[in-house]
Every structure is written in structure tokens, then in C-alpha cells.
Amino acid sequence: MNKTTKTLVAVLVILGGIYAIQRFTSRTSTTELIKPFAGVDTSAVNRVEVDFAGKIILERSQGRWMVTSPVKSPADPGQMNLLLTRIASNPEASVVADNMSDSSAYGFDEDAAYAGFWSTNGKVIEMRIGRLTPDFNGCYIQLTGDNKILQLGTNIRTLVGQPLTDWRDKQIFSFGTSDIETVDFALGDTLYHFFHSDTSWQVNGVRVPEMEARDLVSGLIGSTALGFIDSTVTPSPLIIDYGITLSNKQHIAGQIFKSAGSEVTFGQLC
């Protein structure tokens, strides 16, 4: 390569660098960055509404989240914690449009989602949620009462768009083996009465190896739901009737039915 060629290449590299810097400074100087959730205290939030394929209402009482509509059911604490943590992280957002007559370009059409948060003092924040950003790491949002369209630096659309089943707590029992005093299993006409003391397990008055008894009881109370049946239709055939008495004298009773494949259905919990 001769001297003239080297000089030309050097000039092109310098010009390219200047052009890149100009593009960067131009973009950053005109991009307005805001934190739309800066005033949100998620620890005070006690009501959340989400709507994508149907409105779901979740409410917190005495530290516990419940789905209150369209069904009444304990809420999945992990799902609620993840959503509120995303809000509490106070992500930045850039203004991509100040006022658009046609916001469908950002997903604010029939596919838009909705999320609203309330505390005891009233509404905290409401928003519509459009499509994901091209890198799938964020989404577009529009706060209620504000015409700006924001590009949010975190993805809350996927969370808000979860079906009802994912908002419900799939842990069937909320206690451990150490909380149990007795367990009764009825298989047809045969009753198995498990009694737990501080040092041992007994079945029908006979002491049994603690590990085997604990594994059986743990298998029952450690079960998680794959789905929910909210109708009063009784599946069949019936496998087991069970009753559990806790050390605080609370009693839980129900039935286990055979379902498809290796799955079983828990019913009539009380």
C-alpha cells in the first residue's frame, strides 16, 4: 500500500469516527429519559389489576396476595413478587413519541395489555402496555392520562400477559410435616391413621420407620397443581379420602381422584 492510499484510509477512518460520534451525541441529546415508576412504593400496593385476555384482580390482605376475580384463590407469591420487583427496580424509559394519533405501531391496539396498581390511599399508577421492543428486553408503555409513548427498559408485558392459571398459587398445602399431628388415609374400607409425635411416627398404633412415613406424608403435602378445576363436577375414579390435623388443631380434608396419565386430582379441600 503506497503513502497516498494509507493517507486516504486514515482520513476515511477519522471521518467515520466523527460521523459515529455525531450520530451518538445527536441521539442522546434529543432522547428524553424518565423514570415512570419513581413515585411508586410497591410495599404499599395492596391491589393490582392486569388485563390481556381478561381482567384479573389481585388483592393483598394481612401480607397475603389473593386472586379475587374472576375466581377467588390464593395468588402465586412468586409471580406477584416478580411483578412488583420489576416495578420497584425503577427502570428508565425513553420517550419515543410525544403524541401519536396512531399508536398501533407500538402495539397499542387490540393486543395491548393493561396494568393498574392501587394502595390504601387510592390509585398509584395505571398504564397500557404495547408490544415488546425489538431486542425483547423491554416494552412500550403509555401511562394513563399521558399521551407520551415510552420505551421501558424492562419487560413487564410478558408478566402482565400471563393467563389466570399462572397467577394462582399451585402449592396445594401451605404447611410442613413438622406442623402435622395426624394424617388419615382411607383406601376403600381400609383406614390408615398416621400419628406424629416429637420422636416418631405411628400407623394404626404401630411405630414405623420415620423416613418412610415422612416421605409418604411429604409426598402428599408437597404436591403442586398443574391446573385448576373450578366447577363442581366430580372426577372419577376416587382413589383416596384424606384428613389432616395440624398441631394447632386446624383440620383439612379432601379427596384424591385418578386423572389422566400419572396425574391425580385433589378435590373438596376444606
pLDDT in tens, 23-74: 333 333 356 789 999 989 999 999 999 999 899 999 999 999 999 999 999 9
Q: Which residues contact 186 (CB under 8 A, 6 or more apart)?
A: 192, 240, 241, 242
Assigned CATH class of 33-167: mainly beta
For the question of whether the overall pTM of this predicted structure is more than 0.75, the answer is no
Whether the predicted pLDDT of 179 surpasses 70: yes
Is the Cβ–Cβ distance between 58 and 48 less than 8 Å?
yes
Q: Which residues contact 175 (CB under 8 A, 6 or more apart)?
A: 221, 246
Whether the predicted pLDDT of 207 surpasses 70: yes
pLDDT of the residue at 8:
38
pLDDT in tens, 211-228: 888 888 888 888 888 777
pLDDT in tens, 80-137: 999 999 999 999 999 998 876 677 889 998 889 999 999 988 889 999 999 999 999 9
Average pLDDT, the chain: 83
pLDDT of the residue at 174:
83
pLDDT of the residue at 267:
58
Whether the predicted pLDDT of 157 surpasses 60: yes
Mean pLDDT of 185-199: 87
Could you state, in order of their start, the residue ranges of all structural domains in the chain? 33-167, 177-267
pLDDT of the residue at 93:
96
Strand, helix or coil for residue 61: strand
Distance CA 147, CA 26 (A): 24
pLDDT of the residue at 129:
97
Is the Cβ–Cβ distance between 157 and 203 less than 8 Å?
no
Nearest to 267 by CA among 236, 222, 244, 245: 236
Record the cell numbers describing residue 49, joined without a space.
Answer: 389489576
Residue type, 164: L
